[in-house]
Amino acid sequence: MAERKRLLELRGVAKSFGGLACLHDLDLHVDEGEIVSVIGPNGAGKTTLFNVITGVYPPDGGEILLDGESLVGLEPHQVTNRGVARTFQTLRLFLNMSVRENVMAVQYGRTKATVLESMLRLPRARREDREIRRRAEEKLSFFGQRLVGYRWDQPAYSLSYANRRRLEIARAMATEPRILLLDEPAAGMNPSETHEITELIGKLRAEGGYTILVIEHDMHVVEGISDRVVALDHGVKIAEGTFDAVATDPRVIEAYLGLQKAKTK
């Protein structure tokens, strides 16, 4: 594989809550245009990793670089404006806003009209508003039949679970990110929907041009999408490489299944 630009790079990142070390001296990188999966048993620190990258928690130590520039110490909204967008494992949509408004609201960081300009409907505010609306519809159209036009004006709570997951992805896309962080996009989906998500993630890279870091438990999805897989356990990277290499790594198997009886004796 040709040498590609490092888009996101973590060096020696650590985060602990009280005495519990959730991330310990973690190195990780995602190259431009790459899809990297993070796997690991529950409590391995995967979601904490996302929270640290997006600035929800400040890291205790280490460096987080987006295209060479540090993200450490930035507020979450500033991190998003630099080009990092995420979805949530437990869905966090703006439930009582319409589908379209969900996708429009998150373009706040991409627009500049002041509240006075909006209040008086000055030209820039009107121009931006048209642009926001157009972009929202463009992002929603990405999902084809699943989030079609007549749904756009319905409240987000009226969507099915799978559609709410899709809307979260559309919302993340609308912040115009360079890298998408997807937190268990296939969680709670049935096999057919899971299959769809796998295809969708591929399409996100092929057509949307996004670099993607994804947390996933479903090994079929991981196998289907990943260029590279990183396995975490207790906040430590225990394996990295192709899916086949990681899936057969004895330390990964140990982390998921425990030590084999024969070995312990």
Assess 163 for contact with other proteins (CB under 8 A): yes
Assess 89 for contact with other proteins (CB under 8 A): no
Nearest to 212 by CA among 203, 221, 201, 222: 201
Nearest to 109 by CA among 138, 80, 85: 80
Assess 41 for contact with other proteins (CB under 8 A): no
Assess 236 for contact with other proteins (CB under 8 A): no
- With contacts defined by CB under 8 A, how many residues of the chain interact with other proteins? 59
Number of other residues whose CB lies within 10 A of the CB of residue 238: 18
Assess 123 for contact with other proteins (CB under 8 A): no
> According to CB under 8 A, which one of 145, 262, 263, 265 is a site residue for other proteins?
145
> According to CB under 8 A, which one of 111, 217, 253, 254 is a site residue for other proteins?
111
Assess 34 for contact with other proteins (CB under 8 A): no
Number of other residues whose CB lies within 10 A of the CB of residue 91: 17
Q: Which residues of 188-205 are buried (b: 16+ CB within 10 A; e: fewer)?
A: ebeeebbebbbebbeebb
The distance of Cα 124 from the centroid of its chain, to the nearest Å, equals 32
| Structural tokens at position 72 | 């450490």
147 versus 247: smaller Cβ distance to other proteins: 147
Q: How far is the CB of 170 from other proteins (least distance, A)?
A: 12
Interatomic CA distance for residues 2 and 137, integer angstroms: 36
Helices marked H in 144-249: 161-174, 191-208, 219-225, 243-247
Q: Is 263 helix (H, G, I), strand (E, B) or coil?
A: helix
> According to CB under 8 A, which one of 21, 56, 65, 72 is a site residue for other proteins?
56
> According to CB under 8 A, which one of 32, 129, 249, 254 is a site residue for other proteins?
129
| Structural tokens at position 140 | 């929603």
Assess 106 for contact with other proteins (CB under 8 A): yes
| Structural tokens at position 265 | 């004796």
Assess 256 for contact with other proteins (CB under 8 A): no
> According to CB under 8 A, which one of 199, 245, 250, 260 is a site residue for other proteins?
199
Nearest to 92 by CA among 47, 140, 58: 47
Taking CB under 8 A as the criterion, which residues in 178-197 touch other proteins?
Answer: 190, 192-193, 196
Assess 113 for contact with other proteins (CB under 8 A): yes
User: Contact positions toward other proteins, by CB under 8 A?
Assistant: 54, 56, 75-77, 80-81, 85-86, 88, 91-97, 101, 104-111, 113, 115, 118-121, 125, 128-129, 132, 143-146, 151, 154-155, 157-160, 162-163, 171-172, 175, 190, 192-193, 196, 199-200, 203
